[in-house]
Structure 1
Amino acid sequence: MSSISNRDRQLKLSYQQKLPNQMVTALVVLDSQLTIKYVNPAAEALLVKSFNKLYDLPITTVFYNSPIKKERLEQLLTSGQEFSDSDVTIEFFDHSRITVEITASSVEFSKQPHIILEFKQIDQQKQMSIEAFQHQQWESSRDLIRGLAHEIKNPLGGLRGAAQLLSKELTQEQQEYTEMIIEQADRLTNLVDKLLGPNQLPQMAKQNIHIVLEKVFKLINFNNPKNIKFIRDYDPSIPEISFDQDKLQQAVLNIVNNAVQIIDEGCKITLKTRAASNKTINGRRVKLCVQISIIDNGPGIPKKIQDTLFYPMVSARDNGTGLGLSISQTLVQQHKGKLSCYSRPGHTEFLILLPLQEENNNEC
């Protein structure tokens, strides 16, 4: 058996010293007192703190909710039996959250027992899976609603026509009944048209995205009985992109109107734009896109409907039709974009991602 040369020993030492710093997996080393003795750069990024600030801190003080019980770590030091947990939610003291997979194993350094914690963040993969499922469910429910709408619309036309013919045979007093039939048929037809959603292709033109937000701001602010404060936070460096101004205006207007109806007097709504890079839109990676945020500080959206918020006939309001956000989703989809929502009490954010024109047909 060949012996290891001095050069190979030095190379091995170099690997051992440098490789942890190159890993995308976050590594945290704890001593027997469960205090932090080492973190690699990936762990610094995950914990949003430098090694100098983390050094010698008890691991239990780093998180708002400890992802691993102290007793399990003490048992690991005693038994040496490693363990893993998947889909663990970590909450920090600013109440931000991440989802990780955790592996804990024991190791000796300088003949003293230590613990190595490996954190692998899985938020992005989890979010992509959730969004793919929700998008599939949204398309299925939309197709079902459209099919039912067509089935309802056809006999409504016949009913209205028959009422018009019958009206000619009746006296003026009796025509009151046929007029009621015609009126209700028209009302139902209007509702069915809304259920069918936009059916015309967008007329794309290259223009400034802030034109849409300014028009929505003026429309809503013109009639503002709740004295809602509007904040416009625009990024002027965003280049012109191709979009249908009327359709995109309707999408944003529906979202803002919903917020206005839900939030209390004196609350605020922020219209914000930013350039965003490396975003996933409907399963494809987009290098550069425009991000429009509509943010309010109202009561938030009930958790039970957050996953189905963009489905037709789903509404957070008792008298809501549940069509506005569904139509907005369709309009954004027509622009090859993505509409999503993140909500908690005091903060609701609707996020529209629109790829720049040159990205529309490119995946990365």
Structure 2
Amino acid sequence: MTLDNHSSRPAHLAGLDLLASAVILLDGDGRISYANAAAENLLESSLKALSRQKLTALFLNPEELAGICAQALEHKFSDLRQDLSLERLGREPLRVHSIVSALDAPRDGVLIELRENVQQLKLDREERILDQSQVNKELIRNLAHEIKNPLGGIRGAAQLLELELPALHLSELREYTQVIIKEADRLQTLVDRLLAPHRRPHIVGDVNIHEVCERVRSLILAEFPSGLTISRDYDASIPEFRGDKEQLIQTVLNIAHNAAQALAERIEAGDAELIFKTRVARQVTLAKVRYGLALDLHIIDNGPGIAPQICDRIFYPLVSGREGGSGLGLTLAQTFVQQHLGVIECESRPGYTDFRIVLPLP
């Protein structure tokens, strides 16, 4: 077998390193004789470390995979395709689509192709987000109600105390009672915002998503009249759908306004940009329901990006990447999108942040 001096790999298999899917060759004993670069990445190990190991030894639940490989060695099928969830110690399970084929070589073995099951990963992630969102909503609702009553009592007591203060000391002590009253009012406003999505009725009507985007565009440009460009990349074929127009305006506004505030330095430099982009997505699964058509709305900015330490938590209540932010805007946006049976996702890196909203279409 000829080896490539640069890679220490069989030269006749070098082309397999160009494939995006993982390719693994097993000998007749089920030991790894070759793994391409994608397989090294997927298994998080080098060919040198993997070589001569039994593939089944890499996983905690190898029975199904071992059975398939044994059948392949006995030539019970030419190739078999199957979705597998391969559990690993201390790491996330590998959810893959496998293609197992028997080799007709003198040294019979098995060729295995593994492709990450992206759709399953996406469904699992959406399910976790939905479950977390439901927990958050219950927590917020209960916490807000628990805070509301004592807060009213604190404010009322401070007002009564102010009235009872001797006139001689009123000017000196009134400052303290006013602090109590103002802080109680501030917390009351916060509690009201927490409860807002659960109080307001869901008003359904015909919605044109481009009217929603244009309304938000005009509001943002009124607040940031110079230094910010808002580009539009619309698909005019997107049909109207049933939804709460005001909720969707608030959703897009919360995201766009956060982006505009994050663009402060670029606005000052005059090269800040927001992009509203709409497309139609086909055959989309949202919360385990398959839809033929869906709205694919992107709100993209060229700002500094979201800090990595909060990127996975930006939709949690009271998590904010901005000084003085309440951390409620994206939580409300997620709530409103979920009330429309959709999902909201975010991809961010320095110079590029993309909030993607997917809603089912009729």
Q: TM-score, normalised by structure 2?
A: 0.69
1:118 Cα deviation after fit: 0.7
Percent of residue pairs identical: 40
Q: Secondary structure in 2 aligned to 1:35?
A: helix
| 1:148 alignment partner in structure 2 | 143
Q: CA RMSD of the aligned region, Å?
A: 3.7
Count the aligned residue pairs. 299
For 1:185 and 1:151, the matched residues in 2 are separated by 14
For 2:106 and 2:161, the matched residues in 1 are separated by 99
Residue correspondence of structure 1 range 324-363 to structure 2 within 5 A: 324-356=329-361, 358=362
Q: TM-score, normalised by structure 1?
A: 0.69
Paired amino acid for 1:128: L
| 1:313 alignment partner in structure 2 | 318
5+ residue gaps, structure 2, are 1-8, 23-34, 60-85, 89-93
Q: Render the CA deviation track for 1:26-75: whole Å, top value 9, x for unaligned.
A: xxxx98731348x9xxx89x69xxxxxxxxxxx968899697744468x4
| 1:34 alignment partner in structure 2 | 13
1:141 Cα deviation after fit: 2.6
1:307 Cα deviation after fit: 2.1
1:217 Cα deviation after fit: 0.8
Summarize the Cα distance change of 1:103–1:281 in structure 2 as closer, same or farther, 3 Å threshold.
closer
| Aligned counterpart for 1:296 among listed residues 285, 292, 301 | 301
1:216 Cα deviation after fit: 0.8
Residue correspondence of structure 1 range 1-364 to structure 2 within 5 A: 33-36=12-15, 69-71=46-48, 75=51, 101=96, 108-109=103-104, 111=106, 116-170=111-165, 171=167, 174=170, 176-177=174-175, 178-198=177-197, 199-224=199-224, 227-263=227-263, 264-265=265-266, 266-356=271-361, 358=362
For 1:62 and 1:146, the matched residues in 2 are separated by 46
1:160 Cα deviation after fit: 2.7
Aligned partners of 1:206 and 1:240 also within 8 Å: yes
For 1:303 and 1:128, the matched residues in 2 are separated by 23
Paired amino acid for 1:321: S
For 1:103 and 1:342, the matched residues in 2 are separated by 28
For 2:289 and 2:97, the matched residues in 1 are separated by 28
For 1:195 and 1:228, the matched residues in 2 are separated by 30
**Worse-superposed segment, 219-228 or 250-259:** 219-228
1:224 Cα deviation after fit: 2.2
Summarize the Cα distance change of 1:257–1:287 in structure 2 as closer, same or farther, 3 Å threshold.
same
5+ residue gaps, structure 1, are 1-29, 48-58, 89-98, 359-364
For 1:181 and 1:298, the matched residues in 2 are separated by 38
1:335 Cα deviation after fit: 2.0
Aligned partners of 2:203 and 2:244 also within 8 Å: yes
**Worse-superposed segment, 228-237 or 160-169:** 160-169
Q: Render the CA deviation track for 1:296-318: whole Å, top value 9, x for unaligned.
A: 23222222222221110111223
Aligned partners of 2:216 and 2:249 also within 8 Å: yes
